[in-house]
Amino acid sequence: MAIEIFMPKLSSTMEVGTLLQWFKEEGDPVEIGEPLFEIMTDKINIEVEAYEEGTLLKKYYEPDEEIPVNQVIGFIGEESEEVPSSSPGLSSDSSSDVDDSEDTREGAEENVASQPSGEVDVEQNEKVRATPAARRVARERDLQLSAVAGSGPKGRVHEKDVVHYSEENQGKKITPLAKKVAENEQVSVDNLTGTGANGKIVKDDVTDAIQSATGSANTSSPKKKKLAGMRKVIADRMQESVNTAPHVTLTSDIDMTKVKELRSQLLPTIEKQTGLRLSYTEVIAKAVGVALSRFPSVNASLINNEIIYNEEVNVGLAVAVEDGLMVPVLKKVNSKGLSTLTKEAKDIARRAREQKLQSDELKGATFTVSNLGMYAIDAFTPIINLPETAILGIGRIQDKPVVVDQTVEVRPMMAVSLSFDHRAVDGAPAAAFLTEVKRILENPFELLA
């Protein structure tokens, strides 16, 4: 019986996934554990592996298409089996849903699901006829066999056909949908730079080129970009947070003199241990973690009108990525040393920018720190990352004149902004928490105890 391949649901907020590429062509053999296709979710790009073996009988969608979760996108089965000519819709097994609170499989890569199909009206599947050598070369050059004209009997694609097609297209990697748009709009792809996986040209690259050309011809036409993928998810969540949680923001200035001294003393030791340089972010995260352990009302989540006081102190670090934002999570921050936090923070930030995080590394935050200190920003109003009840915004460290013991001195001062959900936290405990963060950072050597 043919097995369904469907768009997996990898988080509770995921409603659609964008198909980036197929790693197999129709007619190709599929083994368990092999990467089958790549998708962009609301959080990360991820390769989805097959957990059934057989032959890829049908692909219903092409790269760049947005597909609802649990939609059947293809079939795996025996080579002679018949399958529907178009997608039968949602998977027949709804138990494939995965949300942020309960993983039903081990690791996000294993969330590809194939389930037995029911009895449906089918037509003979039209598979691409190709020699094994042609399939190998197509895989090596990342080409769609369906785009190659075969010179063999009954249109069978030979190795020379794939090589000829590749040379004609000058090695350009382009999704079928992008190629179709380019052909319809008569746009040359020779000078386009692909933004897709492995530099592949995707639909947005072609439409951007069209808009750019139109803008050159008519300066009154602005460039437009559809709010989609990660950008749309961020927009929806920010809107939900602002509309749902009554935000109150408290600000304070922190004297970072002793933090600078501590960092200077620890730099050579931590760099020798880890090969990495201790940054202010790790010191601030540690101080926040210690303060959160003392203020359970701030280390809380508001879910379904219930305030949940979290036992673990898990700090999310906002990381800017291309066209978006990710918040990977440092777990049990209050119980870890600065050396460990340096390794973990640097690692998750790097992999966030490379979009190589696992889904569980984006879960479980009880509080978020958003650091814009590397820019010329003194203070800002951060938006709470629901269902958390608070977020701390960090500004730059700047030398300012301050009064110390009735004398004016120039000190490195840092402005911080605490936004909190007034449904769950009142002003007094929020102010006490921020005061504790200030006290710890102005006396940071206690972090070594």
Output the pLDDT for position 416: 96
How much is the pTM? 0.61
Is 360 annotated as catalytic? no
Query: Are 316 and 411 members of one domain?
Result: yes
Top pLDDT among 448 and 366 is at 366
Ramachandran sector of residue 413 (left: φ over 0; alpha: ψ -120 to 50; beta: rest): beta
Note whether residue 228 is domain-resident: no
Number of domains in the chain: 3
Contact (CB, 8 A) for 175 and 168: no
The CATH code of the domain that includes 202 is: 4.10.320.10
Confidence band, pLDDT 50/70/90 cuts, at residue 100: very low
Q: Note the maximum CA span of the chain.
A: 94
Note whether residue 239 is domain-resident: no
pLDDT digits (tens, 9 = 90+) for 121-154: 323 223 577 777 778 777 777 677 777 778 877 6
Is 426 annotated as catalytic? yes
- Burial string for 360-382 (b: 16+ CB within 10 Å, else e) reads ebbbebbbbbbbbbeeeebbbeb
Domain span holding position 212? 176-217
Query: Are 213 and 255 members of one domain?
Result: no
Contact (CB, 8 A) for 96 and 6: yes
- The mean-pLDDT minimum among 230-234, 285-289, 350-354 falls in 230-234
- Burial string for 271-290 (b: 16+ CB within 10 Å, else e) reads eeeeeeebbbbbbbbbbbbb
Note whether residue 99 is domain-resident: yes
pLDDT digits (tens, 9 = 90+) for 272-282: 999 999 999 99
Note whether residue 33 is domain-resident: yes
Q: How many whole angstroms separate alpha carbon 94 and alpha carbon 278?
A: 47
Tell me which range, 136-140, 158-162, 208-212, 314-318, is most confidently predicted by mean pLDDT.
314-318
Query: Are 422 and 344 members of one domain?
Result: yes
Query: Are 323 and 372 members of one domain?
Result: yes
Query: Are 193 and 332 members of one domain?
Result: no
Q: How many whole angstroms separate alpha carbon 335 and alpha carbon 51?
A: 38
- Given 198, 217, 236, which residue is the final one in a domain? 217
- Given 127, 158, 192, which residue is the final one in a domain? 127
Confidence band, pLDDT 50/70/90 cuts, at residue 194: confident
Query: Are 420 and 301 members of one domain?
Result: yes
The CATH code of the domain that includes 433 is: 3.30.559.10
Output the pLDDT for position 264: 94
Query: Are 109 and 185 members of one domain?
Result: no
Radius of gyration of the chain (CA): 27
- Given 96, 112, 127, which residue is the final one in a domain? 127
Which residue in 158, 164, 247, 422 is the catalytic one?
A: 422
- The mean-pLDDT minimum among 169-178, 189-198, 278-287 falls in 169-178
pLDDT digits (tens, 9 = 90+) for 343-354: 999 999 998 888
Note whether residue 232 is domain-resident: no
Dihedral pair phi/psi, residue 67, rounded to 5°: -130, 130
The CATH code of the domain that includes 26 is: 2.40.50.100
Query: Are 76 and 208 members of one domain?
Result: no
Contact (CB, 8 A) for 120 and 84: yes
What do you get for the CA distance between the two ends of the chain, in Å? 63
Query: Are 203 and 279 members of one domain?
Result: no
Whether the per-residue pLDDT at 14 is higher than 90: the answer is no
Note whether residue 165 is domain-resident: no
Note whether residue 225 is domain-resident: no
Output the pLDDT for position 193: 79
Note whether residue 150 is domain-resident: no
Query: Are 257 and 393 members of one domain?
Result: yes
Query: Are 302 and 431 members of one domain?
Result: yes
Query: Are 295 and 415 members of one domain?
Result: yes
